[in-house]
Structure 1
Amino acid sequence: MPTEQRHYRLPTLLVVDDTADNLMLMTELLKDRYRVKVANSGEKAIRLLQGDPLPDLILLDVMMPGLSGHQVAEQLKREPRTRDIPIIFLTAMAGTEDEIHGLELGAVDYITKPIRPALVLARVETQLKLKAAADFLRDHNEYLEQEVQRRTREVMAIQDVTIHAMASLAETRDNETGNHIRRTQHYVKVLAEQLREHPRFRHFLSDETIELLFKSAPLHDIGKIGIPDSVLLKPGRLTEDEFAIMKTHTTLGRNAIQHAEDQLGMPVGFLSLAKEIAYSHQEKWDGSGYPQGLAAEAIPISARLMAVADVYDALISRRVYKAGMPHEQAVEIIRQGRGTHFDPDICDAFVACTEQFQAIAECFADSHQD
């Protein structure tokens, strides 16, 4: 193997000492086993360490004019780029307190002069092996972390695709809804962020929960897949019997999501919220909603948020049986439903961010509403 190639593969040591004889001695001792670089001052060592490649280990004198070895070590340990390079102090300062101080600065070993060559070689070899093991573990951990992040992104992407695919099934049954599921998804997130610090909701609305709500919201009407076309697509007012059939979409949706969760064999956060939303978003604060007639705090928070988002969008959206309502009129109707249809505090949050609702409606407008 050519000498240059052999040296390229050898560990690199940086020897820092202000005495030329010491640098020559250490070079002669180490050159057959390692690639050796030298610096005759702390300042030069710092400059060398700003380039690449970095040495695998530093043998560092303490008493030098200008920057001392202690000062060099302190600088290197402050910098993320150099803090993991092992430092062995090589010095005539042989006191116990001196050795303790050197180790406290982050040195991995402390060798006193005059040196014993066999001891220096043994300690350098030991520290290089320890560094190789630490580098392997660090690289392995970084790889594992990157792999976890990659797989997490894949899982999140699969969740998103699955949710939108399921939601789109309901949308194909009722194509008049257009971008309804997208708008309501963003409305819910806006409301949740508005209420994040509210005393009644802060225990529930963590960053993670808000993200899960955003994922879950598109499934709120998934149960409409099970509603007959004669009811779902009727252009006029529903009869009492037809409305009774329409109301079953909440139970159908909850059951469909529960079935999906059962197939997985484990609870899934966003599906749990999706079940709540699908089943309870038609409940009303005063207990007059469906399917269970829940009232006030008995209604899940997720469903209370969706109730406001769903009604607002239904009011402003054009359907075959009605024209879309102006934003201001829809806001007033929701305001009037405070404490009867809607949770009072969620209603207040809606009033505080109506401009954001309007912007979302315009951003995701259906083609016939552009």
Structure 2
Amino acid sequence: MKILICEDEFVSRRKLEKIISSLGYEFQVADNGLDAYKLWQNERPELVISDWVMPYLNGIELCEKIRTEEGSQYTYIIMVTTKNATNDIVTAINAGADDLISKPYNIDELAVRIRAGQRSRMFQTKDIVIFSLAKLAESRDAETGDHLERIRHFSKRLTEQLSACPGNPFKINKVFIDNIFLTSPLHDIGKVGIPDAILLKPGRLNEAERKTMTGHCRIGYNTLHDALEKYPNTDYLQMGAEIALYHHEKYDGTGYPEGLRAEQIPLAARIVALADVYDALTSARSYKEAYTHQQTKGLIMNYSGSHFDPTVVDAFLQCEEQFAQIKLKFS
């Protein structure tokens, strides 16, 4: 990881250089905000450590310029300051700083904050790669539009609503919410293995075609499970594999591919199942008109306890207005 040090005071700058060098990172140095900005434009370092008070451009102005121009290549910014009042912290965060550290520098603290920046950037990269992978499957079907964006927002909103149930019976935490937002778009990744003649058929599938289509669940699972075997502690891959395999299971056991029922179906798959059906019903296809929100709501209520987990349906009813808003935003 490349780090840009921006510090106008010589002694502080030399100390920062020694600390970062001892931690094994590659770095560049600027002694004023303007030079730092030019270096950032040319080199695009992953992380910037900037003093607040500097000539030409101060740290706040440097943050603002980086955030305005960075595009999709995110830069993690640590602001160095002697300021510690609440309004100063608010000013720095509003300008785009990700973290603040006070002088004098402590090597252990600085190392921890740099590693936090690395983790943040890794998550952003992971998000982009996973969504791009999901888009590969979606691109096979021109009718799906912003389906993936809607699915991830539907799934996140449902999960947040479930976490607000009294006592949080499913023990949903922030990691679970982040992971379902990240991996729910992978639910149909297995469709990359389905022939176009079946995947894009405008009418109803015959029995043989339907059987082939159901195979997308296993294809998606196998793809993600292979990656999971190499990285067994990767919880988001575990969730993604479960969603891909089980999002067509039904609460009463009549779904596929394994005919699981009720709590045998992983919670994430039960959530995505409702999100996926809601989006399918409210979207127009070559063979059907789009259902209204109210029509779709009625069907979901009718299938509570058969197709859908009743608890997930109850959560949907608590946040149905947000579903309609998400559908409108990504339509």
1:330 maps onto 2:296 in alignment: yes
**1:295 — aligned with what?**
261
**1:36 — aligned with what?**
none
2: CA distance between counterparts of 1:276 and 1:239? 27
- Give 1:204 shift: 3.2
Q: Deviations over 1:85-132 (max 9, x none)?
A: xxxxxxxxxxxxxxxxxxxxxxxxxxxxxxxxxxxxxxxxxxxxxxxx
**2:107 — aligned with what?**
140
**2:164 — aligned with what?**
197
Highest CA radius of gyration, 1 or 2?
A: 1
Contact 2:188 2:216 in 1 (8 A): yes
1: CA distance between counterparts of 2:188 and 2:173? 25
2: CA distance between counterparts of 1:238 and 1:225? 18
- Give 1:208 shift: 1.3
Q: How does 1:1-370 map to 2 (within 5 A)?
A: 139-198=106-165, 202-262=169-229, 264-365=230-331
2: CA distance between counterparts of 1:319 and 1:215? 26
- Give 1:81 shift: 6.4
- Give 1:203 shift: 4.0
The alignment's TM-score, normalised by the length of structure 1, stands at 0.60
SS in 1 for 2:257: coil
- Give 1:202 shift: 3.6
Q: Deviations over 1:316-347 (max 9, x none)?
A: 01112212111110111001011111001111
191-200 or 282-291: bigger deviation: 191-200
Q: Deviations over 1:212-243 (max 9, x none)?
A: 11111010000011010010000001101111
The number of aligned residues is 236
Instruction: Quickly say closer, same or farther: Cα 1:307–1:272, change in 2 above 3 A.
Output: same
Of all paired residues, the percent bearing the same amino acid is: 41
SS in 2 for 1:347: helix
SS in 1 for 2:106: helix
- Gap runs ≥5 in structure 2: 1-9, 12-52, 54-82, 86-102
Contact 2:131 2:182 in 1 (8 A): no
Question: AA paired with 2:319?
Answer: C
- Gap runs ≥5 in structure 1: 1-7, 10-51, 53-79, 83-134, 366-370
Q: Which runs of 4+ in 1 moved over 3 A?
A: 199-204
RMSD: 2.2
Question: AA paired with 1:326?
Answer: T
Q: Which has the higher contact order (CA 8 A, sep 6+)?
A: 2
Question: AA paired with 1:240?
Answer: E
2: CA distance between counterparts of 1:174 and 1:320? 12
The alignment's TM-score, normalised by the length of structure 2, stands at 0.67
